[in-house]
Amino acid sequence: MIGRLNHVAIAVPDLEAASAQYRDILGATVRPPQQEPDHGVTVVFIELPNTKIELLHPLGEDSPIAAFLAKNPSGGMHHICYEVDDIIVARDKLVSSGARVLGGGEPKIGAHGKPVLFLHPKDFNGTLIELEQV
130 has catalytic annotation = yes
Q: What is the spatial distance between Cα 112 and Cα 134, in angstroms, rounded to a whole number?
A: 10
Instruction: Give me the least distance between CB of 98 and Co ion, in Å please.
Output: 23
Q: How many residues bind Co ion (CB under 5 A)?
A: 3
Q: Does 56 bind Co ion (CB under 5 A)?
A: no
What are the CA-CA distances from residue 83 to residues 54, 61, 80, 115, 120 (Å)? Answer: 15, 30, 10, 10, 17
Considering the rule CB under 5 A, would residue 46 count as an interface residue with Co ion?
Answer: no
Could you tell me which residues are beta bridge partners of residue 110?
A: none
Single out the segment in contact with Co ion by CB under 5 A; choices: 18-26, 74-82, 96-104, 120-128. 74-82
Q: How far is CA 71 from CA 41, 67, 118, in A?
A: 17, 7, 20
With CB under 5 A as the contact rule, the residue among 46, 69, 81, 117 that binds Co ion is: 81
Candidates 19, 41, 130, 133; binder of Co ion (CB under 5 A) is 130
Region 82-111 residues binding Co ion, contact defined as CB under 5 A? none
Q: Would you please indicate which residues are annotated as catalytic (active-site) residues?
A: 130
